[in-house]
Amino acid sequence: MYNVVRLVNISPAFRWAKDAKVNNKRRPLVAGNWKMNGSAGLAESMRSTFATAQLNKVDVAVCPPFVFLHALADANVALGAQTLSEYENGAHTGEISAQMLKALDCQYVIVGHSERRADQHESNGLVADKVAMALAAEVTPIFCVGEPEDIRDSGNLYEYLAAQIDAVVSHVGIDAFEHMVVAYEPIWAIGTGKTASPEQAQDVHRFIREHLAKNNPAVAQGLRILYGGSVKSSNAAELFGQPDVDGGLIGGASLDPEEFLRICQAADS
């Protein structure tokens, strides 16, 4: 399904990964995932909170439900969606295509979030198809991986994560990761208040980078790997301070514009 030719002819505007790496340092990204929350009012208050925010060294994105994307258009944050269809167009009632997101100026789309893997039974293969669709439309996938607690406890953490990553690598190719963001979100840390320790996050982020580096060291080095799972302003700086943690994917705390701004400020250094 994935069209390699289109990626080779990718537009200069999509080659952000080059710009995202300044002086050999990856530029952090903080993305808010509202999940099935929020309102037009929240979009408005997010817009006004960020209108005057002085953030220089961090990229910020907000991923509201589809119906509020327009309410954040031209705000002082990049737009992201929470999922997309694996189909290009046609008779797929209720689906939203990559091209539609592009037309709305969505720069990012979350793909493979654990809640969709669980609720909508999205398999590694389907996630790979969706990543390919996003790439073909030049919308940057925020590709999520993460383990349930029993997998971590059983000692199979790295095999589990490698299978999630390899499904996408084998479908779109390692070079496509130049146009992607990866998010590590341990399922046991999502919405639980139980954050991974900075050391736990760093260990997994380093594993992800080294795993990808086996195929393309330069792409792995430039890749932004976000941490997600109970990030708050009180723990953000320490998490973002880890060498392989390049920002965060924020759930609950992104529903409070002031708190979300504080988390973005923690990455702005």
Binding site for ligand 13P (CB under 6 A): 33, 113, 185, 190-191, 228-231, 249-253
- What is the smallest separation between the CB atom of 106 and ligand 13P, expressed in angstroms? 16
Active site residue 185: yes
Q: Which of 138, 147, 185, 259 is catalytic?
A: 185
Tokens for 34, please give them: 């509202």
Question: What gap in Å lies between CA 247 and CA 36, rounded to an integer?
Answer: 22
Question: Is 214 assigned a ligand-binding role in the annotation?
Answer: no
CB of 26 to ligand 13P, least distance (A): 20
Q: Is 230 annotated as a binding residue?
A: yes
Which CB sits closer to ligand 13P, 74 or 119?
Answer: 119
Query: Minimum Å distance from CB 187 to ligand 13P?
Result: 9
Tokens of 69: 């994307």
Look up 113 and say whether it is catalytic: yes
Q: Which is the catalytic residue, given 113, 122, 178, 205? A: 113
- How far apart are alpha carbons 220 and 218 in whole angstroms? 5
Q: Is 252 annotated as a binding residue?
A: yes
Burial 233-242 (b: 16+ CB within 10 A, else e): bebbeebbeb
Q: Which is nearer to ligand 13P, 103 or 118 (CB)?
A: 118
| Beta bridge partner(s), residue 22 | 25
**The two structure tokens encoding residue 96:** 């939203």
Q: Consult the annotation and say whether 38 binds a ligand.
A: no
Nearer to ligand 13P, 131 or 249 (CB): 249
| Closest residue to bound ligand 13P by CB | 251
Q: Name the residue nearer to ligand 13P (CB basis): 7 or 30.
A: 30
Question: Could you say which DSSP state residue 174 is in?
Answer: G
The reply, when asked if residue 35 is annotated as ligand binding, is yes
Give the nearest distance from C-beta 31 to ligand 13P in angstroms.
Answer: 8
Whether 218 and 196 have beta carbons less than 8 Å apart is answered as no
**32 labelled binding-site residue:** no
Q: For residues 82 and 136, which CB has a smaller minimum distance to ligand 13P in the complex?
A: 82
Angle at Cα 13 formed by Cα 12 and Cα 18, nearest 5°? 75
Give how far the C-alpha of residue 35 lies from the chain's centroid of Cα atoms, to the nearest Å.
13
Burial of 183 (0-12, 13-18, 19+ CB in 10 A): buried
Report, in Å, the least distance between residue 119 CB and ligand 13P. 12
The dihedrals phi and psi of 63, each to the nearest 5 degrees, come to -115, 85
Cβ burial of 91 (10 Å; 0-12, 13-18, 19+) is exposed
Annotated catalytic residues are 113, 185
Q: Which residues are annotated as a binding site for substrate?
A: 33-35, 191, 230, 251-252
Q: Which residues are annotated as a binding site?
A: 33-35, 191, 230, 251-252
